[in-house]
Homo-oligomer: A and B are copies of this chain.
Amino acid sequence: MKKILFILLLLPVVTTFAQNKVEKWHIFELTLKGTSNGNPFTEIQISAEFINGNHRKTIDGFYDGNGIYKIRFMPQETGTWNYVTSSNSKSLNNKKGSFECIAPTGNNHGPVVVKDTFYFAYSDGKPHYSFGTTCYAWVHQGDSMADLTLKTLEKGYFNKIRFCIFPKDYDWSKNEPLIYPFEGKPLKDWDYTRFNPACFQNIEKRIAQLDALGIEADLIVFHPYDRWGFQNMDAQTDERYIRYIIARFSAYKNVWWSMANEFDFMKAKKMEDWDKFIRLFAGNDPYNHLRGIHNGAVWYDHTNPLITHASIQNEETYRSKELRMKYKKPVVYDECRYEGNIPWSWGNITPQEMTNKFWRGITNGGFVGHGETYVTENPAKWPSESDDVLWWSKGGVLRGQSAERIKFAKSIVEQSPGQLSPYPLFFDWMPFSAVAYKDEYILAYLNLDQPKSAFINNLPKNATYKAEIIDTWNMTIMPVENSELKGTVLIQLPQKPGIVIRFKKKDI
Protein backbone atom coordinates (compact mmCIF):
# COMPACT_ATOMS: atom_id res chain seq x y z
CA MET A 1 0.00 0.00 0.00
CA LYS A 2 1.72 3.17 -1.24
CA LYS A 3 1.15 6.42 0.59
CA ILE A 4 1.39 9.14 -1.96
CA LEU A 5 1.67 12.03 0.45
CA PHE A 6 4.81 14.06 0.89
CA ILE A 7 5.89 16.71 3.35
CA LEU A 8 5.15 20.18 2.08
CA LEU A 9 7.63 22.85 3.17
CA LEU A 10 6.40 26.40 3.04
CA LEU A 11 8.74 29.24 3.92
CA PRO A 12 6.82 32.53 4.18
CA VAL A 13 8.57 35.49 2.62
CA VAL A 14 9.14 38.02 5.43
CA THR A 15 10.82 40.89 3.64
CA THR A 16 8.85 44.12 3.41
CA PHE A 17 8.60 44.53 -0.29
CA ALA A 18 6.42 45.97 -2.99
CA GLN A 19 6.91 46.09 -6.74
CA ASN A 20 7.40 49.25 -8.82
CA LYS A 21 5.71 47.93 -11.92
CA VAL A 22 2.79 45.58 -12.18
CA GLU A 23 0.95 44.40 -15.24
CA LYS A 24 -2.72 45.14 -15.36
CA TRP A 25 -4.58 42.15 -13.76
CA HIS A 26 -1.42 40.95 -12.08
CA ILE A 27 -0.87 41.30 -8.34
CA PHE A 28 0.60 44.23 -6.50
CA GLU A 29 1.47 42.89 -3.06
CA LEU A 30 2.41 45.11 -0.14
CA THR A 31 4.13 43.28 2.70
CA LEU A 32 4.36 44.95 6.11
CA LYS A 33 5.96 43.92 9.34
CA GLY A 34 3.74 44.34 12.41
CA THR A 35 2.89 42.87 15.74
CA SER A 36 2.43 39.18 16.38
CA ASN A 37 1.11 39.77 19.87
CA GLY A 38 -2.39 38.84 20.90
CA ASN A 39 -4.50 37.47 18.05
CA PRO A 40 -3.70 39.49 14.94
CA PHE A 41 -6.41 37.61 12.98
CA THR A 42 -9.16 39.09 15.10
CA GLU A 43 -7.56 42.14 16.65
CA ILE A 44 -5.74 43.85 13.80
CA GLN A 45 -7.58 45.42 10.89
CA ILE A 46 -5.58 46.55 7.91
CA SER A 47 -6.57 47.88 4.53
CA ALA A 48 -5.31 50.25 1.89
CA GLU A 49 -6.85 52.72 -0.45
CA PHE A 50 -5.52 52.56 -3.99
CA ILE A 51 -6.02 55.62 -6.19
CA ASN A 52 -5.37 56.12 -9.88
CA GLY A 53 -7.07 59.28 -11.12
CA ASN A 54 -10.78 58.66 -10.70
CA HIS A 55 -10.28 55.01 -9.87
CA ARG A 56 -10.33 54.18 -6.18
CA LYS A 57 -10.34 50.82 -4.46
CA THR A 58 -10.27 49.98 -0.79
CA ILE A 59 -8.55 46.64 -0.34
CA ASP A 60 -8.53 44.60 2.86
CA GLY A 61 -5.23 43.12 3.95
CA PHE A 62 -4.69 39.95 5.94
CA TYR A 63 -2.39 38.55 8.55
CA ASP A 64 0.03 36.00 7.14
CA GLY A 65 1.60 34.83 10.43
CA ASN A 66 4.99 35.67 12.02
CA GLY A 67 4.16 39.37 12.30
CA ILE A 68 3.67 39.69 8.52
CA TYR A 69 0.71 41.58 7.05
CA LYS A 70 -0.12 41.70 3.39
CA ILE A 71 -2.30 43.73 1.12
CA ARG A 72 -2.89 42.27 -2.31
CA PHE A 73 -4.27 44.32 -5.11
CA MET A 74 -5.08 43.50 -8.71
CA PRO A 75 -5.06 46.77 -10.69
CA GLN A 76 -7.65 46.90 -13.45
CA GLU A 77 -6.46 50.23 -14.87
CA THR A 78 -3.04 51.16 -16.21
CA GLY A 79 -1.24 54.23 -14.92
CA THR A 80 0.13 55.31 -11.57
CA TRP A 81 -1.55 53.93 -8.50
CA ASN A 82 -0.92 55.63 -5.14
CA TYR A 83 -1.89 53.91 -1.97
CA VAL A 84 -2.13 54.61 1.72
CA THR A 85 -2.80 52.05 4.43
CA SER A 86 -5.26 52.23 7.33
CA SER A 87 -4.94 50.12 10.42
CA ASN A 88 -5.85 50.10 14.09
CA SER A 89 -2.18 49.16 14.65
CA LYS A 90 0.00 52.25 14.47
CA SER A 91 2.96 50.48 12.88
CA LEU A 92 0.74 49.41 9.94
CA ASN A 93 -1.16 52.66 9.55
CA ASN A 94 -0.62 55.43 7.02
CA LYS A 95 2.00 53.62 4.95
CA LYS A 96 2.15 55.22 1.55
CA GLY A 97 3.57 54.33 -1.79
CA SER A 98 2.87 54.01 -5.44
CA PHE A 99 3.42 51.73 -8.37
CA GLU A 100 3.01 51.82 -12.09
CA CYS A 101 0.40 49.59 -13.68
CA ILE A 102 1.53 48.67 -17.17
CA ALA A 103 -0.31 47.07 -20.07
CA PRO A 104 -0.85 43.33 -19.98
CA THR A 105 1.44 41.12 -22.03
CA GLY A 106 1.40 37.59 -23.42
CA ASN A 107 -1.42 35.43 -22.22
CA ASN A 108 -2.64 37.91 -19.64
CA HIS A 109 -6.24 38.58 -20.65
CA GLY A 110 -7.55 39.38 -17.18
CA PRO A 111 -10.30 37.79 -15.12
CA VAL A 112 -13.14 35.94 -16.78
CA VAL A 113 -16.46 37.79 -16.67
CA VAL A 114 -19.94 37.18 -17.99
CA LYS A 115 -20.52 38.64 -21.43
CA ASP A 116 -23.73 39.03 -23.46
CA THR A 117 -25.85 37.22 -20.88
CA PHE A 118 -24.95 33.64 -21.81
CA TYR A 119 -21.19 33.68 -22.34
CA PHE A 120 -17.84 34.12 -20.67
CA ALA A 121 -15.02 36.36 -21.83
CA TYR A 122 -11.73 37.49 -20.39
CA SER A 123 -11.66 41.11 -19.27
CA ASP A 124 -9.89 42.15 -22.47
CA GLY A 125 -12.78 40.79 -24.52
CA LYS A 126 -11.25 37.49 -25.62
CA PRO A 127 -13.94 34.79 -25.49
CA HIS A 128 -13.56 32.19 -22.76
CA TYR A 129 -15.12 28.84 -23.66
CA SER A 130 -15.28 26.96 -20.40
CA PHE A 131 -13.86 23.41 -20.44
CA GLY A 132 -13.46 22.45 -16.81
CA THR A 133 -12.36 19.49 -14.76
CA THR A 134 -12.67 18.54 -11.11
CA CYS A 135 -9.95 17.55 -8.60
CA TYR A 136 -11.62 18.32 -5.31
CA ALA A 137 -8.70 17.73 -2.96
CA TRP A 138 -5.64 18.06 -5.18
CA VAL A 139 -4.18 20.93 -3.13
CA HIS A 140 -4.21 18.74 -0.01
CA GLN A 141 -2.03 15.90 -1.38
CA GLY A 142 1.44 17.41 -1.02
CA ASP A 143 3.87 18.87 -3.54
CA SER A 144 4.81 15.73 -5.39
CA MET A 145 1.23 14.83 -6.23
CA ALA A 146 0.38 18.47 -6.98
CA ASP A 147 3.31 18.67 -9.39
CA LEU A 148 2.03 15.55 -11.14
CA THR A 149 -1.42 17.09 -11.38
CA LEU A 150 0.02 20.29 -12.84
CA LYS A 151 2.05 18.27 -15.33
CA THR A 152 -1.18 16.62 -16.46
CA LEU A 153 -2.99 19.95 -16.66
CA GLU A 154 -0.12 21.39 -18.71
CA LYS A 155 -1.28 19.26 -21.61
CA GLY A 156 -4.09 21.74 -22.20
CA TYR A 157 -7.20 19.59 -21.81
CA PHE A 158 -8.97 22.07 -19.58
CA ASN A 159 -9.15 25.78 -18.82
CA LYS A 160 -10.87 25.53 -15.43
CA ILE A 161 -10.51 23.28 -12.42
CA ARG A 162 -12.87 22.96 -9.46
CA PHE A 163 -11.35 22.27 -6.06
CA CYS A 164 -12.05 22.60 -2.36
CA ILE A 165 -10.33 24.99 0.00
CA PHE A 166 -11.02 22.69 2.95
CA PRO A 167 -9.69 19.12 3.01
CA LYS A 168 -11.99 16.33 1.88
CA ASP A 169 -13.29 13.24 3.62
CA TYR A 170 -14.91 10.79 1.23
CA ASP A 171 -14.48 7.41 -0.43
CA TRP A 172 -10.98 7.24 -1.94
CA SER A 173 -10.05 10.33 0.09
CA LYS A 174 -9.52 9.17 3.65
CA ASN A 175 -5.95 10.46 4.16
CA GLU A 176 -5.29 13.43 6.47
CA PRO A 177 -4.19 16.66 4.80
CA LEU A 178 -0.63 17.80 5.64
CA ILE A 179 -1.76 21.28 6.63
CA TYR A 180 -5.00 22.35 8.26
CA PRO A 181 -6.75 25.68 7.71
CA PHE A 182 -6.86 26.53 11.42
CA GLU A 183 -4.51 26.28 14.33
CA GLY A 184 -5.19 23.34 16.59
CA LYS A 185 -5.20 19.56 16.36
CA PRO A 186 -7.18 17.09 14.31
CA LEU A 187 -9.71 15.81 14.30
CA LYS A 188 -11.79 18.58 15.80
CA ASP A 189 -9.76 20.59 18.32
CA TRP A 190 -9.49 23.83 16.31
CA ASP A 191 -8.93 27.42 17.35
CA TYR A 192 -11.31 28.88 14.81
CA THR A 193 -10.05 32.41 15.58
CA ARG A 194 -6.61 31.59 14.17
CA PHE A 195 -6.06 30.63 10.56
CA ASN A 196 -3.07 28.56 9.59
CA PRO A 197 -1.38 30.77 6.93
CA ALA A 198 0.66 27.85 5.56
CA CYS A 199 -2.56 26.18 4.39
CA PHE A 200 -3.65 29.27 2.46
CA GLN A 201 -0.15 29.96 1.15
CA ASN A 202 -0.19 26.51 -0.38
CA ILE A 203 -3.54 27.12 -2.03
CA GLU A 204 -2.50 30.47 -3.46
CA LYS A 205 0.67 28.91 -4.81
CA ARG A 206 -1.57 26.44 -6.66
CA ILE A 207 -3.86 29.21 -7.87
CA ALA A 208 -0.82 31.02 -9.30
CA GLN A 209 0.46 27.85 -10.94
CA LEU A 210 -2.92 27.30 -12.54
CA ASP A 211 -2.96 30.89 -13.74
CA ALA A 212 0.40 30.38 -15.38
CA LEU A 213 -1.19 27.50 -17.32
CA GLY A 214 -4.18 29.63 -18.32
CA ILE A 215 -6.50 27.67 -16.03
CA GLU A 216 -9.27 29.21 -13.96
CA ALA A 217 -9.40 28.19 -10.28
CA ASP A 218 -13.01 27.48 -9.34
CA LEU A 219 -12.63 27.58 -5.56
CA ILE A 220 -15.18 25.65 -3.53
CA VAL A 221 -15.70 27.62 -0.34
CA PHE A 222 -17.75 25.04 1.60
CA HIS A 223 -18.42 21.35 1.12
CA PRO A 224 -20.05 18.50 3.04
CA TYR A 225 -17.27 15.85 2.75
CA ASP A 226 -15.84 16.53 6.16
CA ARG A 227 -14.79 14.79 9.36
CA TRP A 228 -13.02 17.81 10.91
CA GLY A 229 -15.97 20.06 11.57
CA PHE A 230 -15.35 22.65 8.84
CA GLN A 231 -18.84 22.16 7.46
CA ASN A 232 -20.35 22.99 10.85
CA MET A 233 -18.51 26.19 11.82
CA ASP A 234 -20.53 28.94 13.47
CA ALA A 235 -21.74 31.97 11.55
CA GLN A 236 -19.00 34.25 12.86
CA THR A 237 -16.26 31.82 11.81
CA ASP A 238 -17.84 31.33 8.40
CA GLU A 239 -17.83 35.08 7.84
CA ARG A 240 -14.27 35.55 9.13
CA TYR A 241 -13.16 32.72 6.83
CA ILE A 242 -14.89 34.26 3.82
CA ARG A 243 -13.34 37.68 4.48
CA TYR A 244 -9.94 36.05 4.91
CA ILE A 245 -10.06 34.17 1.61
CA ILE A 246 -11.33 37.26 -0.19
CA ALA A 247 -8.37 39.23 1.18
CA ARG A 248 -5.91 36.48 0.28
CA PHE A 249 -7.20 35.08 -3.01
CA SER A 250 -9.24 37.70 -4.81
CA ALA A 251 -6.21 39.49 -6.31
CA TYR A 252 -5.54 36.33 -8.38
CA LYS A 253 -7.20 37.02 -11.68
CA ASN A 254 -8.17 33.39 -12.32
CA VAL A 255 -10.28 32.95 -9.18
CA TRP A 256 -13.96 31.93 -9.36
CA TRP A 257 -15.98 31.57 -6.17
CA SER A 258 -18.15 28.50 -5.81
CA MET A 259 -20.12 28.89 -2.59
CA ALA A 260 -20.35 25.15 -2.17
CA ASN A 261 -20.25 21.79 -3.75
CA GLU A 262 -23.61 20.09 -3.21
CA PHE A 263 -24.83 22.94 -1.00
CA ASP A 264 -28.01 21.04 -0.20
CA PHE A 265 -26.05 18.19 1.39
CA MET A 266 -24.76 20.60 4.08
CA LYS A 267 -27.47 20.13 6.64
CA ALA A 268 -26.13 22.77 9.06
CA LYS A 269 -26.54 25.54 6.47
CA LYS A 270 -29.87 27.13 5.67
CA MET A 271 -30.84 29.03 2.56
CA GLU A 272 -30.34 32.31 4.43
CA ASP A 273 -26.75 31.26 5.17
CA TRP A 274 -26.10 30.81 1.46
CA ASP A 275 -27.75 34.14 0.75
CA LYS A 276 -25.47 35.75 3.29
CA PHE A 277 -22.33 34.13 1.86
CA ILE A 278 -23.25 35.19 -1.65
CA ARG A 279 -23.82 38.77 -0.42
CA LEU A 280 -20.48 38.70 1.42
CA PHE A 281 -18.62 37.81 -1.76
CA ALA A 282 -20.64 40.21 -3.89
CA GLY A 283 -20.11 43.05 -1.41
CA ASN A 284 -16.48 42.47 -0.48
CA ASP A 285 -14.66 41.02 -3.46
CA PRO A 286 -13.18 44.21 -5.01
CA TYR A 287 -13.03 42.55 -8.42
CA ASN A 288 -16.42 40.92 -8.56
CA HIS A 289 -15.09 37.49 -9.48
CA LEU A 290 -17.61 34.99 -10.85
CA ARG A 291 -19.89 33.54 -8.18
CA GLY A 292 -21.65 30.19 -8.44
CA ILE A 293 -23.28 27.64 -6.19
CA HIS A 294 -23.35 23.96 -7.08
CA ASN A 295 -26.23 21.63 -6.29
CA GLY A 296 -26.48 18.07 -5.10
CA ALA A 297 -29.98 16.64 -5.34
CA VAL A 298 -31.85 19.94 -4.89
CA TRP A 299 -31.52 22.49 -7.67
CA TYR A 300 -30.52 26.02 -6.73
CA ASP A 301 -32.54 28.91 -8.10
CA HIS A 302 -29.86 30.49 -10.25
CA THR A 303 -32.05 33.44 -11.08
CA ASN A 304 -30.57 35.01 -7.91
CA PRO A 305 -29.07 38.20 -9.38
CA LEU A 306 -25.91 37.89 -7.27
CA ILE A 307 -25.11 34.51 -8.85
CA THR A 308 -23.21 35.08 -12.09
CA HIS A 309 -23.64 31.70 -13.76
CA ALA A 310 -25.55 28.47 -13.21
CA SER A 311 -23.22 25.78 -11.87
CA ILE A 312 -25.18 22.59 -12.42
CA GLN A 313 -24.93 19.01 -11.33
CA ASN A 314 -27.08 16.98 -13.69
CA GLU A 315 -26.40 14.47 -16.41
CA GLU A 316 -28.67 15.97 -19.06
CA THR A 317 -26.24 18.47 -20.57
CA TYR A 318 -28.49 18.86 -23.61
CA ARG A 319 -30.83 20.83 -21.39
CA SER A 320 -28.39 23.76 -21.51
CA LYS A 321 -30.59 25.35 -24.15
CA GLU A 322 -33.57 25.33 -21.82
CA LEU A 323 -31.63 26.32 -18.69
CA ARG A 324 -29.90 29.31 -20.25
CA MET A 325 -33.34 30.73 -21.08
CA LYS A 326 -34.60 29.91 -17.59
CA TYR A 327 -31.67 31.53 -15.77
CA LYS A 328 -30.58 34.10 -18.38
CA LYS A 329 -26.98 33.25 -17.51
CA PRO A 330 -24.14 31.08 -18.71
CA VAL A 331 -24.92 27.45 -17.89
CA VAL A 332 -22.03 25.27 -16.72
CA TYR A 333 -22.65 21.56 -16.15
CA ASP A 334 -19.79 21.24 -13.66
CA GLU A 335 -20.80 17.68 -12.88
CA CYS A 336 -22.66 15.50 -15.36
CA ARG A 337 -21.26 12.13 -14.19
CA TYR A 338 -17.60 11.20 -14.61
CA GLU A 339 -15.65 8.90 -16.87
CA GLY A 340 -14.62 5.98 -14.71
CA ASN A 341 -15.31 2.54 -13.36
CA ILE A 342 -16.37 2.98 -9.74
CA PRO A 343 -19.50 1.34 -8.40
CA TRP A 344 -21.21 4.69 -7.78
CA SER A 345 -23.21 5.51 -10.84
CA TRP A 346 -22.04 9.14 -10.97
CA GLY A 347 -18.54 7.85 -11.70
CA ASN A 348 -18.70 5.04 -14.21
CA ILE A 349 -19.62 6.37 -17.60
CA THR A 350 -17.59 5.45 -20.66
CA PRO A 351 -15.20 7.91 -22.31
CA GLN A 352 -17.55 7.91 -25.28
CA GLU A 353 -20.41 9.08 -23.09
CA MET A 354 -18.27 11.69 -21.29
CA THR A 355 -17.27 13.10 -24.69
CA ASN A 356 -20.89 12.94 -25.81
CA LYS A 357 -22.02 14.91 -22.76
CA PHE A 358 -19.54 17.64 -23.68
CA TRP A 359 -20.79 17.87 -27.25
CA ARG A 360 -24.43 17.79 -26.27
CA GLY A 361 -23.77 20.63 -23.84
CA ILE A 362 -21.72 22.63 -26.32
CA THR A 363 -24.24 22.31 -29.14
CA ASN A 364 -27.05 23.38 -26.85
CA GLY A 365 -25.31 26.58 -25.81
CA GLY A 366 -23.85 25.34 -22.51
CA PHE A 367 -20.49 24.52 -20.96
CA VAL A 368 -19.52 21.17 -19.49
CA GLY A 369 -17.09 19.94 -16.85
CA HIS A 370 -15.05 16.75 -16.83
CA GLY A 371 -14.19 14.39 -14.02
CA GLU A 372 -12.43 11.05 -13.93
CA THR A 373 -12.90 8.21 -11.46
CA TYR A 374 -10.90 5.13 -12.40
CA VAL A 375 -9.92 2.65 -9.74
CA THR A 376 -6.96 0.40 -10.57
CA GLU A 377 -6.91 -2.13 -7.74
CA ASN A 378 -7.69 -5.66 -8.84
CA PRO A 379 -10.05 -6.92 -7.53
CA ALA A 380 -11.78 -3.62 -6.86
CA LYS A 381 -12.05 -2.86 -3.14
CA TRP A 382 -14.85 -1.33 -1.13
CA PRO A 383 -14.77 2.42 -1.86
CA SER A 384 -14.23 3.35 1.78
CA GLU A 385 -11.23 0.98 2.06
CA SER A 386 -9.42 1.75 -1.17
CA ASP A 387 -6.18 3.72 -1.50
CA ASP A 388 -6.63 4.26 -5.21
CA VAL A 389 -5.72 7.74 -6.43
CA LEU A 390 -8.62 9.06 -8.47
CA TRP A 391 -8.16 12.22 -10.56
CA TRP A 392 -11.52 13.56 -9.43
CA SER A 393 -10.35 13.57 -5.82
CA LYS A 394 -6.57 13.84 -5.67
CA GLY A 395 -5.44 14.69 -9.18
CA GLY A 396 -2.30 12.95 -10.45
CA VAL A 397 -2.51 11.32 -13.87
CA LEU A 398 -5.46 10.77 -16.18
CA ARG A 399 -6.22 7.17 -17.10
CA GLY A 400 -9.23 7.79 -19.30
CA GLN A 401 -9.80 8.52 -22.94
CA SER A 402 -12.13 11.49 -22.82
CA ALA A 403 -9.61 14.21 -21.89
CA GLU A 404 -7.95 14.07 -25.33
CA ARG A 405 -11.39 14.30 -26.97
CA ILE A 406 -12.32 17.23 -24.78
CA LYS A 407 -9.14 18.99 -25.82
CA PHE A 408 -10.10 18.29 -29.43
CA ALA A 409 -13.61 19.65 -28.79
CA LYS A 410 -12.08 22.73 -27.19
CA SER A 411 -9.96 23.33 -30.29
CA ILE A 412 -13.04 23.10 -32.55
CA VAL A 413 -14.98 25.53 -30.37
CA GLU A 414 -12.04 27.91 -30.12
CA GLN A 415 -11.84 28.06 -33.90
CA SER A 416 -15.21 29.79 -33.87
CA PRO A 417 -15.00 33.50 -34.65
CA GLY A 418 -17.23 34.15 -31.62
CA GLN A 419 -19.51 32.68 -28.98
CA LEU A 420 -21.87 29.95 -30.06
CA SER A 421 -25.61 30.12 -29.55
CA PRO A 422 -28.32 27.54 -30.32
CA TYR A 423 -29.16 27.47 -34.01
CA PRO A 424 -32.30 25.97 -35.58
CA LEU A 425 -30.61 23.76 -38.13
CA PHE A 426 -32.75 20.69 -37.49
CA PHE A 427 -36.44 20.03 -37.09
CA ASP A 428 -37.53 20.79 -33.55
CA TRP A 429 -38.47 17.20 -32.82
CA MET A 430 -35.04 15.85 -33.65
CA PRO A 431 -32.68 15.26 -30.74
CA PHE A 432 -29.77 16.58 -32.79
CA SER A 433 -28.57 20.04 -31.83
CA ALA A 434 -26.64 22.86 -33.43
CA VAL A 435 -24.97 26.08 -32.36
CA ALA A 436 -23.57 28.87 -34.46
CA TYR A 437 -21.70 32.12 -34.35
CA LYS A 438 -24.05 34.30 -36.39
CA ASP A 439 -24.50 32.56 -39.75
CA GLU A 440 -20.78 32.09 -40.14
CA TYR A 441 -19.68 29.08 -38.15
CA ILE A 442 -22.16 26.28 -37.42
CA LEU A 443 -21.59 23.12 -35.41
CA ALA A 444 -24.28 20.44 -35.74
CA TYR A 445 -24.03 17.39 -33.50
CA LEU A 446 -25.65 14.03 -34.24
CA ASN A 447 -25.19 12.53 -30.76
CA LEU A 448 -24.15 8.90 -30.45
CA ASP A 449 -26.48 8.03 -33.30
CA GLN A 450 -25.26 6.58 -36.58
CA PRO A 451 -27.03 8.18 -39.51
CA LYS A 452 -25.60 7.46 -42.95
CA SER A 453 -26.79 10.85 -44.11
CA ALA A 454 -28.10 14.03 -42.54
CA PHE A 455 -30.91 16.14 -43.86
CA ILE A 456 -30.23 19.84 -43.31
CA ASN A 457 -33.04 22.12 -44.26
CA ASN A 458 -32.14 25.42 -42.68
CA LEU A 459 -28.84 26.57 -44.12
CA PRO A 460 -29.17 30.23 -45.05
CA LYS A 461 -29.98 30.60 -48.74
CA ASN A 462 -28.23 33.91 -49.26
CA ALA A 463 -24.77 32.44 -48.77
CA THR A 464 -22.86 29.27 -49.58
CA TYR A 465 -21.16 27.00 -47.12
CA LYS A 466 -18.46 24.44 -47.07
CA ALA A 467 -18.88 21.57 -44.65
CA GLU A 468 -16.61 19.21 -42.76
CA ILE A 469 -17.38 15.95 -41.01
CA ILE A 470 -15.81 15.96 -37.57
CA ASP A 471 -15.46 12.60 -35.85
CA THR A 472 -15.43 13.63 -32.18
CA TRP A 473 -14.12 10.25 -31.03
CA ASN A 474 -11.41 9.56 -33.62
CA MET A 475 -10.60 13.29 -33.71
CA THR A 476 -10.57 13.57 -37.48
CA ILE A 477 -11.88 16.31 -39.76
CA MET A 478 -12.88 15.40 -43.31
CA PRO A 479 -14.12 17.89 -45.90
CA VAL A 480 -17.48 17.33 -47.59
CA GLU A 481 -17.03 17.25 -51.37
CA ASN A 482 -19.79 19.62 -52.27
CA SER A 483 -18.56 22.99 -51.07
CA GLU A 484 -21.38 25.12 -52.44
CA LEU A 485 -23.98 24.19 -49.84
CA LYS A 486 -27.02 26.32 -49.14
CA GLY A 487 -30.64 25.87 -48.10
CA THR A 488 -31.72 22.23 -48.06
CA VAL A 489 -28.99 19.63 -48.38
CA LEU A 490 -28.36 15.94 -47.80
CA ILE A 491 -24.90 15.33 -46.33
CA GLN A 492 -23.34 11.86 -46.58
CA LEU A 493 -21.91 10.65 -43.27
CA PRO A 494 -19.62 7.85 -42.10
CA GLN A 495 -22.40 6.09 -40.09
CA LYS A 496 -20.59 6.36 -36.76
CA PRO A 497 -21.57 7.73 -33.37
CA GLY A 498 -20.32 11.17 -32.30
CA ILE A 499 -20.33 13.07 -35.59
CA VAL A 500 -20.29 16.87 -35.80
CA ILE A 501 -20.95 18.59 -39.09
CA ARG A 502 -19.18 21.93 -39.26
CA PHE A 503 -20.41 24.51 -41.73
CA LYS A 504 -18.30 27.52 -42.55
CA LYS A 505 -19.71 30.36 -44.55
CA LYS A 506 -17.63 30.97 -47.63
CA ASP A 507 -16.16 34.39 -48.17
CA ILE A 508 -18.11 36.18 -50.85
Task: State the A residues within 8 Å of B (CB).
Answer: 297, 340-345, 348-350, 353, 375, 379-383, 429-432, 446, 448-455, 490, 492, 495, 497
Contact = CB atoms under 8 A, between A and B. Distances in A.
Contacts of A344: 430, 455
A14 to B, nearest CB: 50
Given A379-B492, A492-B380, A432 B345 contact: yes
A301 B490 CA distance: 38
A497 to B, nearest CB: 6
A429 B380 contact: no
A380 B345 contact: no
A341 B382 contact: no
A450 B379 contact: no
A195 to B, nearest CB: 36
A452 B380 contact: yes
Contacts of A343: 451-455, 490
A273 B212 CA distance: 70
A115 B345 CA distance: 34
A429 B296 CA distance: 11
A383 B427 CA distance: 15
A341 B492 contact: no
16 contacts: A341-B452, A342-B451, A342-B453, A343-B451, A343-B453, A344-B430, A345-B429, A345-B449, A348-B449, A349-B450, A350-B449, A353-B449, A375-B452, A379-B453, A379-B492, A383-B455
A432 B345 CA distance: 8
B492 A451 contact: no
A488 B328 CA distance: 45
A40 B95 CA distance: 112
Nearest to A447: B345
A405 to B, nearest CB: 16
A313 to B, nearest CB: 12
A341 B451 contact: yes
B431 A345 contact: yes
A448 B337 CA distance: 13
Contacts of A353: 448-449
A372 to B, nearest CB: 12
A126 to B, nearest CB: 36
B452 A342 contact: yes
Contacts of A453: 342-343, 375, 379-380
A450 B490 contact: no
Contacts of A492: 379-380
Contacts of A495: 341
Closest 5 CB pairs of A and B: A380-B453, A341-B452, A343-B455, A348-B451, A345-B430
B342 A382 contact: no
Contacts of A340: 450
Contacts of A448: 350, 353
B432 A350 contact: no
Given A350-B450, A380-B452, 4 more contacts: A341-B450, A342-B453, A348-B452, A380-B492
